[in-house]
Structure formats: structure tokens, C-alpha cells
Amino acid sequence: ELLPVVIPAAGVGKRMQADRPKQYLSLGGKTLLEQTLAQIAKHPSIGEIILVISPEDEYFGSLKTLDASRVTRVDGGTERVNSVLCGLQALTNKGYQADQWVLVHDAARPCITTADIESLLAIREQAYAGGILAFPVRDTMKQARHNSGPSIDTTVPRELLWHALTPQMFRLGELTQAIEQGLADGHPITDEASAMEHMGHNVKLVNGSPTNIKVTTPSDLDLAAFYLTAMQA
Ligand code: CTP
Ligand code: MG
């Protein structure tokens, strides 16, 4: 059975401070977006790809390596969560059922490996509403007194803290409902799991690779190039 994937790629990449959205910056001879798509598309369990792009985007049209038989472009929204919702709605409109498992993966994470996707897919056999790739926090974690003044209030026990990554995998109907409810409640939704948690669903943390970084700042681009080369070696 092939799973559809939604790839939000409608951001502006403000923190990258480049002349174009970061997904169109060059990485290993292609754009960052094309690298991410290639990594996702090569997993044998991935089927259709819904690519969420800004309606104002000026760069998408010049991409060359897209497989039009698998990739559908959908208009994105103001925040990541709105873009993801547009992608999920497109899947429903295409006839996917509510119980269909769906992956959501950031365009900005090109270093996703087949092995990590495999680990995430494996939880379909278990009693969870879905799961996310993540890895345990390693540094000592400090909580500040104020978000402006950099002085320490306390040290937060890190045993229970994980970094949330993508892909994240849920059932199409439950995830769509959770996001719509979270938006209606004004609940902060920075990833799919946060919407599912808000609904009381049980979400599995799947140990993933810390090299699956989100390219956010200029130095991340060099790091991603390094990891990609290492992956292909
Ligand atoms: N994204 C999206 N729609 C938005 C905002 C973000 O589809 N309205 C996508 C981005 O394109 C990216 C992913 O969500 O692939 C993760 O977001 P982030 O890393 O924050 O990217 P940007 O929002 O583009 O970067 P910044 O926050 O620095 O502006
Ligand atoms: Mg952002």
C-alpha cells in the first residue's frame, strides 16, 4: 500500500536571509526542495506527493526534476499549519479516505533517510494515533526568567525532552479534524503532533536521526550538504 505525503514548501525563509525562499537555494547541484523530494520519493512505500507552494511563488515553475505523474501543486497559507491543512484537504478532495495514513514532511529537511521513514511506517502495527520522528535532548536545558532578559530561572530535567522532527504520520481524517479544532481554539500548532496532542490522541515518539536537520539558517545549508554527501557515499 502506498502512502501519500504532504510537503509544506510555502514559507519565505525569513531566517535564512537569502534573495529567495530557502527551498530554492542550491544544495548539491539541485535546489533544496528537489533534494527533499528526491529523498522522499525514493522510498518504495511513498506514493502521491502533495507539494504546498505559495500562490505568490516565482521559482516553482523553473524546477526541472519534478515527476508530474506523482507531484501535485497546491496553494499554501499564511502559517505552516495553514499550508499543511491545504495539503490535507487536497488529499480528501482527491478521494483519500479518513482512515488513510498520511505523512507530513518539511521541504526544509532534505537529509531524511529511507531508514528513518521505515521506522516511522512500522508504528502502523501499534496502538497509536500516529507518530513522529524525534530524538532525545542532549544538552542541559535552561528555562529563562523572561523571554528578553537572559538570566536563568531553573534547569529543566531533560529526561523527558525530545526534539520533534518530520516526517510525522497520522490518519488523514483525525489529523484534519485536529488541526481544524486547534485553529478554532487558538491552540499553538507548530507541528502536526501538537494538534493531535491537543485532541488527547496518543502519539508515538519514534527515534530518528539527529542529522535530519531543518535547514533554517545559512550554516545549516553547509551542514545539510555535508550530511547529504555522507548519505550518498
Ligand atoms: N511553510 C509553509 N507555509 C508557511 C510557512 C512555512 O509551507 N506559511 C513550510 C516551509 O516552506 C518549510 C516548513 O514549512 O518547508 C518549515 O517551516 P520553516 O522552517 O519555518 O520555513 P520558513 O517559514 O520558510 O522559514 P522562516 O520561519 O525562517 O521564515
Ligand atoms: Mg517558519
**Cis link prior to 167 (omega < 30° from 0)?**
yes
pLDDT digits (tens, 9 = 90+) for 158-217: 999 999 999 999 999 999 999 999 999 999 999 999 999 999 999 999 999 999 999 999
Q: Among 100-104, 159-163, 229-233, whose mean pLDDT is lowest?
A: 229-233
Work out the average pLDDT over 3-11: 98
Report the number of distinct structural domains present in the chain. Answer: 1
Confidence check on the interface: ipTM exceeds 0.90, yes or no: yes
pLDDT category at 5 given cuts 50, 70, 90 is: very high
**CATH number of the domain within which 123 lies:** 3.90.550.10
Nearest residue to 169 (alpha-carbon basis) of 43, 21, 53, 13:
43
- Model pLDDT, residue 96: 98
- Model pLDDT, residue 147: 81
Q: Which domain holds residue 198?
A: 3-232
Pocket test for ligand 1, best of 27, 79, 106 (most atoms within 8 A of CB): 106
**How many whole angstroms separate alpha carbon 122 and alpha carbon 198?**
24
Whether the CB of 87 sits within 6 Å of ligand 1: no
In the predicted model, what is the mean pLDDT of the chain?
A: 97
The gap between the terminal CA atoms of the chain, to the nearest Å, is 30
**How many whole angstroms separate alpha carbon 65 and alpha carbon 61?**
11
Burial class (CB in 10 A: 0-12, 13-18, 19+), 208: buried
In the reported structure, the alpha carbon of residue 78 is separated from the centroid of ligand 2 by a whole-number distance in angstroms of 10
pLDDT of residue 144 exceeding 90: yes
Dihedral sign (CA 2, 31, 66, 63)? positive
**How many whole angstroms separate alpha carbon 183 and alpha carbon 83?**
13
pLDDT of residue 142 exceeding 80: yes
The distance from CA 117 to its chain's CA centroid, rounded to whole angstroms, is: 12
Whether the CB of 110 sits within 6 Å of ligand 1: no
What percent of the chain stands above pLDDT 90? 94
